[in-house]
Amino acid sequence: DTEVTQTPKHLVMGMTNKKSLKCEQHMGHRAMYWYKQKAKKPPELMFVYSYEKLSINESVPSRFSPECPNSSLLNLHLHALQPEDSALYLCASSHLRTVGNTEAFFGQGTRLTVV
Amino acid sequence: KQEVTQIPAALSVPEGENLVLNCSFTDSAIYNLQWFRQDPGKGLTSLLLIQSSQREQTSGRLNASLDKSSGRSTLYIAASQPGDSATYLCAVNGGTSYGKLTFGQGTILTVHP
């Protein structure tokens, strides 16, 4: 099973709403990632979790709050977003380098629209 | 800072042609390089991973090569089909242990019947 599952697939939220994106994998990967992709652009890294601890925050605004409750789950909590935050949010997972093959597997993404 | 460039930005070919997509990167201190396919509005599908110690990898009609010293990788697609139409992204895994990927801008491939 090389599947990364993201929910929901689509989300429309107002600027005062609070919502969460969810990501799940069962490949035993101990590194999980959030990427943001704007239209016609490549994905850009937001956060990296390794062994359920936040390892990298690419200077992401605090209105995005990641959480890794266990080794299979990754959440992204959203609050007070701006219309320019509308994008495809991609979750990915991989083994850590100390394990060897760090091939990254991506989910299908959540298409977020902020109105 | 690692920079990844893909050429061409777009490519349109008739069905059955063999084609080559190019990827170059500025910092040769990479751990591996990965090629992905992305259909419109969808996530990324991993096609091939080449470790820094490898020269090439093959999967079906796909062959990816890596020349780390010159900072180049190519993705060769044999006997292209309309179903191959998608955006192809190369991504470099650099010098951290966390698998941070730096992506190129992608090549939009259209294969017409």
pLDDT digits (tens, 9 = 90+) for B70-112: 999 999 999 999 999 999 999 999 866 567 899 999 999 999 9
Mean pLDDT throughout B19-30? 94
Nearest alpha carbon to residue B35 among B1, B70, B61, B69: B61
Residues of B with CB under 8 A from a CB of A: 31-32, 34, 36, 41-46, 49, 51, 89, 91, 93, 96-101, 103-106
Please judge whether B49 and A96 are an interchain contact, meaning their C-beta atoms are less than 8 angstroms apart: no
The pLDDT value recorded for residue B1 is 86
Distance from CA of A89 to the nearest CA of B (A): 9
The pLDDT value recorded for residue B95 is 64
Closest chain B CA to residue A104 = B46
- Quick check: B49 pLDDT over 90? yes
Token reading at A111 = 């298409």
> Model confidence over A60-84: pLDDT tens digits?
999 999 999 999 999 999 999 999 9
Q: CA of A107: how far to CAs of A2, A57, A112, B61, B88, in Å?
A: 10, 20, 14, 24, 16
Query: Which of B43, B96, B104 has the CB atom closest to A42's CB atom?
Result: B104
The pLDDT value recorded for residue A60 is 97
The pLDDT value recorded for residue A111 is 97
b/e map B29-38, b = 16+ CB within 10 Å: ebbbbbbbbb
Please judge whether A48 and B97 are an interchain contact, meaning their C-beta atoms are less than 8 angstroms apart: no
- Quick check: A98 pLDDT over 70? no
The pLDDT value recorded for residue A102 is 84
Please judge whether A48 and B43 are an interchain contact, meaning their C-beta atoms are less than 8 angstroms apart: no
SS3 A107: coil
Please judge whether B46 and A104 are an interchain contact, meaning their C-beta atoms are less than 8 angstroms apart: yes
* Percent above pLDDT 90 for chain B: 85
The pLDDT value recorded for residue B99 is 73
Q: What share of chain B is helix, strand, coil (3-state, %, to 5)?
A: 5, 55, 40
End-to-end CA gap in chain B: 41
